[in-house]
Amino acid sequence: MNENKDKFSSNFGFLMASIGSAVGLGNIWGFPYKMGMNGGFTFLIVYLLLVFTVGLPLMMGEIALGRKSEKGAIQAYKTFSPKFKFVGWFNVIAPFLLLCFYVVFGGYILKYLIANLKNLFSAGSSKIAVTHTGAFFEEFISAGTEPMIYAWIFLAVTLIIVSLGVSGGIEKFSNFAMPTLTIMLIIIVIRACTLEGAGEGLKFIFKPDVSKFEGLGFLEVFAAAGSQMFFSLSLSSGAIIAYGSYLSKNSNIEKNAAIITLSDAIISIFAALAVMPAVFAFGLEPQAGPGLLFVSLQAVFNDMGTTGPLFASIFYLLVLFAALTSSIAMTEGFLSSILDAQVARGKKPNRKLVSALVYLATVLGSSLISYDALGNSNLHHPFGLSTWLDFFDLLAEGILMPLGGLCLAIMLGWFYPTSLDDEYAQGSKFKSKNLYRFCIRYIAPPVLLLIVIVQLNAFFG
Ligand code: PHE
């Protein structure tokens, strides 16, 4: 065992960082909307089934792969099986692409947090226009340098934490951010569910709707649930492998993976309870993506009267923590492989220098996306897509991640079915062995194949 490696100082730290990686914008703006649009309670059942039959075994696989090799994705795959080294590359390119657009949204969150804190402390003098939240958002994202600067600040915070190391930066921040986030989320859920008219929102998310399951509609729901699950658990993005490589040898992988996947699902459900009742209580339309978080919800907070700025500040702070712990994980997902490459060349890994270089590279990538959002972009976009964000998203979420997951399932299920058993057996009785084997062989590959097909079809179809 490599004693010099900077590792998590406790199992709790590993859990907070990994749950932090999983809980992000996917939970807060992806899940509630998708659940409402895809059959409500029935979607939830399909989602949970996929979490435990596909997400959980892959989560175990990635943690074990990382811990066994004590390396980031590329080296981890290479040492496990040189044939599958290319999957390591997928796992390293994808999180960089994700980071480039995640920081743009991180910047928006920062802007909204600051605007709402100003409201809170200045008794309304700089108040966000109550009836014009849509215009406020449009104005901000088309304001040229302003959204870029916010993205750069968000990115700087991410990289400062990463540059402080695993136990000194990532673990310390996660240990503080994740419990705080949970408490803030509970406060917002209670507020949202006790609003007059909240029932409509609860109906939107929980109403069982089997009509979606007729004919081929079923496959769509299935794929929507599957890709949401995959992104939400941060699989195939180098993050979980990297965190696994910093996990102590006597920790129980089976139990840790179960806690991470379950916590992520619970927080998604809580996010749905926080967001949708409020949107419906104020008679707004549920929408997907940034519009939900920055237009609809800001309108809700503005309408809450004097307590609005307080709840808004709590809400955007909790979203900021969720986004930061995710952007940190994405960064570590590829940075760990760069540090490994330095070691392989006989050099001393220089985390601070690499963090600074990653900062510059991400500023470039994210600027393409911010520039596009100005609305009058004259940039060229590959494959006839309409924005660079779509291109980055297509490559990462649409192709590299599900394809990486498919290869992982085939590698662990069919090529080397028993070679991680010793890793699982450490600190655990590996009670789920037969179930694990069955899921990773027969359930995960077809589900992931379906996700790849549906994702590609959604972009090009
Ligand atoms: N799971 C995060 C979310 O739901 C996104 C993420 C993907 C984080 C990959 C790290 C790595 O927002």
Q: Residue 31's closest CA among 269, 326, 263?
A: 269
313 lines ligand 1 (CB under 6 A): no
Q: Which of 31, 326, 334 to mutate to test the pocket of ligand 1 (most atoms within 8 A of CB)?
A: 326
Average pLDDT across the chain, whole number: 91
308 lines ligand 1 (CB under 6 A): no
Neighbours of 315 (CB within 10 A): 29
Residue 94 · residue 237 · CB < 8 Å = yes
Q: Which residue has the higher pLDDT, 296 or 418?
A: 418
326 lines ligand 1 (CB under 6 A): yes
Q: Residue 313's closest CA among 122, 139, 454?
A: 122
27 Cα nearest atom in ligand 1 = 4
Q: Which residue has the higher pLDDT, 126 or 163?
A: 163
Token pair of 181 as six digits: 């986030």
Query: What average pLDDT does range 243-248 have in this prediction?
Result: 97
Residue at token pair 């600074």: 356
Q: Which of 33, 231, 233 to mutate to test the pocket of ligand 1 (most atoms within 8 A of CB)?
A: 231
Rounded distance from Cα 111 to ligand 1 centre (Å): 21
Say whether pLDDT at 207 is over 60: yes
If you write DSSP's letter for every residue of 365-399 in order, what string do you get? HHHHHHHHTTTT-----GGG-S-HHHHHHIIIIII
How far, in Å, CA of 279 to CA of 444, rounded?
35
How far, in Å, CA of 21 to CA of 240, rounded?
8
Q: Residue 133's closest CA among 111, 149, 155, 107?
A: 111
Say whether pLDDT at 376 is over 70: no
Tell me the torsion sign for CA atoms 81, 405, 64, 167.
positive
Token pair of 371 as six digits: 């520039």
Please report, as a single letter, which amino acid is at residue 118. Answer: K
Q: Which of 27, 33, 234 to mutate to test the pocket of ligand 1 (most atoms within 8 A of CB)?
A: 234
261 lines ligand 1 (CB under 6 A): no
Say whether pLDDT at 126 is over 80: no
Query: What average pLDDT does range 79-104 have in this prediction?
Result: 96
| Band (3; pLDDT cuts 50, 70, 90) | low
pLDDT on residue 217: 78
Q: Residue 366's closest CA among 171, 83, 153, 162?
A: 153
Say whether pLDDT at 214 is over 50: yes
Query: What average pLDDT does range 174-201 have in this prediction?
Result: 94
| Band (183; pLDDT cuts 50, 70, 90) | very high
Residue 404 · residue 411 · CB < 8 Å = no
263 lines ligand 1 (CB under 6 A): no
How far, in Å, CA of 434 to CA of 413, rounded?
12
Q: Residue 388's closest CA among 399, 398, 377, 397?
A: 377
pLDDT on residue 48: 96
Neighbours of 38 (CB within 10 A): 23
Name the DSSP letter for residue 8. Answer: -
Among 36-45, 375-384, 436-445, the minimum mean pLDDT is found in: 375-384
Q: Which residue has the higher pLDDT, 134 or 179?
A: 179
pLDDT on residue 1: 52
How far, in Å, CA of 91 to CA of 96, rounded?
9
Say whether pLDDT at 304 is over 90: no
Token pair of 417 as six digits: 């079915």
Token pair of 407 as six digits: 């290869």
How far, in Å, CA of 320 to CA of 317, rounded?
5
Token pair of 277 as six digits: 């009742």
If you write DSSP's letter for every residue of 270-325 in order, what string do you get? HHHHHHHHHHHHTTPPP--THIIIIIIHHHHHHHTGGGHHHHHHHHHHHHHHHHHH
Tell me the torsion sign for CA atoms 219, 220, 223, 228.
negative
How far, in Å, CA of 400 to CA of 394, rounded?
9
238 lines ligand 1 (CB under 6 A): no
With left for phi above 0 and alpha for psi between -120 and 50, is residue 165 left, alpha or beta? left
Query: What average pLDDT does range 342-368 have in this prediction?
Result: 95
pLDDT on residue 108: 94
Query: Can you give the pTM of this predicted structure?
Result: 0.94
Say whether pLDDT at 437 is over 50: yes
> CB within 8 A of 134, min separation 6: which ones?
295
Say whether pLDDT at 306 is over 90: no
Among 14-18, 165-169, 364-368, 404-408, the minimum mean pLDDT is found in: 364-368
